[in-house]
Amino acid sequence: MSTTIARRVGRIVVWAGVLFFSAAAALASPIVDEIVGTVSQASYTSYLGVPSPGTPAGILYTHLGDNRDIGGAQHDLARTNILNTFTSLGLNAYLFPFSYGGNTYYDVVGVKPGVWNPSTVYIVGSHYDSVNNPGADDNASGTAGVLEAARVLSRYPFSATLVFIAFDREEQWLIGSQAYANAHAGDSIQGMISLDMIAYNPAGATHDQALLYGRTAPIQNALADSLLQYGAITATGAGILDASDHAPFEWNGKPATLLIEGAVWSNPNYHRAADSVDTLDYIDYDYATRMTRGTVGYLAAQAGYAPEPNCVVLLIVMMAGRRAWRGRRS
C-alpha cells in the first residue's frame, strides 16, 4: 500500500471512530436512565432478606439469630452465596485471600472488564461481616446494594472496568479492604464507593437524607447529583470518617467515598441482635433501593456506556476500503 493510500485509509478510520464514539456519547444519557430503571426493589429485597426459591434463609442471613461474625454459623455461607451470585451474573468472580489473627479470610470480588479502557477501574464495595448479630443494616443492606448493582450493570457494556467487592473483617478495622486496596495500589482506580448501612430511614429531619464521607469532593458531588436525580435522596458531604471500606483506598491516593444513611448516628439497633429484617418498622427497602439507584447511576455514567462495534461500524470500514481501492486505481 502506498503512503498516499495509507494516509487516506487512516483519515477515514479516524473519521469512522469519531462518528462511532460521538453516536455512543449521544446515547449515553438515555442509556444511563434505562440502566437505572432496571434497578428493582423486589430484587434488592430478595438479596437483603426475603427468602427466595432454594435459599429459604435468604442469601445474606439477616434474620433473628443469624450471625455473620468471625466463627458465626452463617459467615461462610453468606460468602459462598455472594460468590455464587457474582458467578451467575457472568462476572469474573473469585475469592481474594488475606490474613487476620493467624487465619485466612476472603473478600469476594466480581469483575466486569471494560470494553475500550479496561485499565480504568470503578469500584463499589461493602462489608459482609457483622458483629455477632444478623447485621441486616450493618451491613447486609450495603451488600445487597452491591449485588443489585452487579445484577444490573453486568448486563451492559462499559468502557471502563467495574469491580464489585464484598469485604470481610471490616469490623476489625477494615482489614479486608486494606488488604485489597494495598494489593491494587498501582491500579488506575478512578472512583470507589463504600455502601455501608443504607436501609434505616426513620421519619424526621433525616428522612430521605444520606451522608457522604471522604476527602475528595468531585466523587461526592457526582454521587450526590445521581442520588438526587435517580433516588430523590439529598446527600450531604459530612467530612472525613476513616471508619468504612472507602478509607484504605483514600490512604492509597484513590478518590473514594462512603455512602451511609442520614440517621446512622441514631440507629437504635446498631451492633445489636435486633439489627434484623424481622424487627418491625426498621428496614426501609424502598429507601435502600433508591440509594442503590443513585449508586448505579453514578457508576454507569462514570464507566461510560460502550456499545460493541456493530453493522454500522462494519459498513464504515467497508466504505473506507472501497475509497482506498478507488484511490489506488486513480
Q: Sign of torsion, CA 190 195 201 205?
A: negative
pTM: 0.88
Please give, one letter per residue, the 3-state secondary structure of 58-93.
CCCCCCCCCCCCCCCCCHHHHHHHHHHHHHHCCCEE
* Max CA pair span of the chain: 82
- 223 phi, psi to nearest 5 deg: -70, -40
For residues 163-169, give the mean pLDDT. Answer: 98
327 found inside a domain: no
187 found inside a domain: yes
18 found inside a domain: no
Cα separation, 135 vs 156, whole angstroms? 31
Query: Between the CA of residue 31 and those of 23, 28, 34, 307, what are the distances in Å?
Result: 12, 5, 5, 10
- 259 phi, psi to nearest 5 deg: -105, 120
The pLDDT value given to residue 172: 93
- 234 phi, psi to nearest 5 deg: -95, 115
Give one word for 77, left, alpha or beta, with left for phi > 0 and alpha for psi -120 to 50: alpha
Q: Is the pLDDT of residue 209 over 50?
A: yes
The pLDDT value given to residue 49: 87
Q: Exposed, middle or buried by CB within 10 Å (0-12, 13-18, 19+), for 14?
A: exposed
State the total domains in the chain: 1
For residue 277, what is the DSSP state?
Answer: T
> What are the grid coordinates assigned to 269, written together?
439497633
2 found inside a domain: no
27 found inside a domain: no
- We report the CATH number of the domain holding residue 176 as 3.40.630.10
Q: Domain residues for 296? A: 40-303
* pLDDT tens, residue by residue, 83-140: 999 999 999 999 999 999 999 999 999 999 999 999 999 999 999 999 999 999 999 9
* Of 1, 17, 102, 32, nearest in space to 300 by CA: 32
323 found inside a domain: no
319 found inside a domain: no
* pLDDT tens, residue by residue, 285-316: 999 999 999 999 999 999 999 986 654 444 44
311 found inside a domain: no
